[in-house]
Chains A and B, each alone.
Chain A
Amino acid sequence: MAKEWPIVNRYRVGDPVTVRAHFPSGHARAPFYTRGHSGEVVRVTGPFRNAEERAYGRTGARVPLYRVQIRQRDLWPDYVGSSGDTLVVDLYEHWLEPGDRR
């Protein structure tokens, strides 16, 4: 097997990120309801083999995985609950774009 490239994480804990508003066909691991929404990186993990490729029997490239925290009120405009309620979702790096600093 070919030598593997070192993995450089594009984001760090605390970085604002936006989930790509992208709708490819096939196996995708970014839930629809998170796409286009912004949050903050709360944990950097991985690299893991890209499950979106492994689903088709391929080895999968090694990709960083981020835990991204999103405010519920940003996800759902009519959310019923506290302003501090959040959702944390695990997203591969290729699903993220730099977000706006608040």
Chain B
Amino acid sequence: MSGHHPHPGPPDSEDGSWTREQLMAAAVEALLVRKRVFTPADVAGALDYWASRTPADGARLIARCWTDDAFAARVMDSVNAGAVELGLDIGHTRVVAVANTPKIHNVLVCTLCSCYPIRLLGDSPGWYKSRAYRSRVVREPRAVLSEFGLDIPDDVDVRVHDSTADLRYIVVPMQPTGTEHLTEQELAGLVTRDCMIGTALPRYIPA
């Protein structure tokens, strides 16, 4: 080519070589489409659905727990039933609520893989799936929480929940003091994803 000199651009996603797992997934998907088990539209629709899930749903559930003790009691019994009351479709996988108290701080992990209540909280953060988080939070939870900026006092017990089987978890944080006048929607805005994993606490800064 004359008259042109190459400009190094950002790499396209196809520039690297495929991993074995990517090749397997693409091959299996192509086979199942060809065998009419599902259509490409089904795959796109499913991916779109999972991408549409966000921690906002979980935050709504927590805010309702803060404003309605009877609802909170039902959620402690069954998160799935509580979600239905709010019109949320979180499927049939059992989700269990673990509530923070002045004496107990809860934090979630899945040491075996990356189990997470995706329908309620959206996709899990990358660090939640990392080997470092998964191996360290069961071994030295206080040090890990401290790296998240969360120093748990000695008179509060740290309780780590390792989600190894059929149950998924959500942490119910305590309502921050001084927020009693806020609406349920405003309260939900204080509840971040990490608050429901247990690596953060809701914070309220008065305007």
Contact = CB atoms under 8 A, between A and B. Distances in A.
B24 interface: no
Interface residues of B, number: 24
Contacts of B112: 29, 31
Interface in A31-89: 31, 33-34, 43, 45-46, 48, 51, 65, 67, 69, 72, 75-76, 79-82, 84-89
Nearest to B160: A87
B142 to A, nearest CB: 5
B157 A90 contact: no
A7 B64 CA distance: 36
Given A45-B167, A90-B164, A90-B166, A31 B158 contact: no
Nearest to B134: A31
Interface in A7-40: 29-31, 33-34
A92 B141 CA distance: 25
**B-side binding surface: helix, strand, loop or mixed?**
loop
Contacts of A85: 141-142, 157-159
A80 B165 contact: no
Contacts of B163: 90
B166 A51 contact: yes
Interface in B162-190: 162-167
Q: How extensive is the interface on chain A, given as a class?
A: 20 to 34
Interface of B: 94, 96, 111-112, 138-143, 154-167
7 shortest A-B CB distances, which residue pairs? A84-B157, A90-B165, A48-B166, A89-B162, A87-B160, A85-B158, A90-B164
Interface of A: 29-31, 33-34, 43, 45-46, 48, 51, 65, 67, 69, 72, 75-76, 79-82, 84-92
9 contacts: A29-B164, A31-B138, A43-B96, A45-B166, A48-B166, A81-B158, A82-B156, A88-B160, A89-B162
Given A30-B164, A33-B138, 17 more contacts: A31-B138, A31-B164, A33-B139, A45-B94, A65-B166, A72-B141, A80-B140, A81-B140, A81-B142, A82-B154, A85-B159, A86-B159, A86-B160, A87-B159, A87-B161, A87-B162, A90-B167
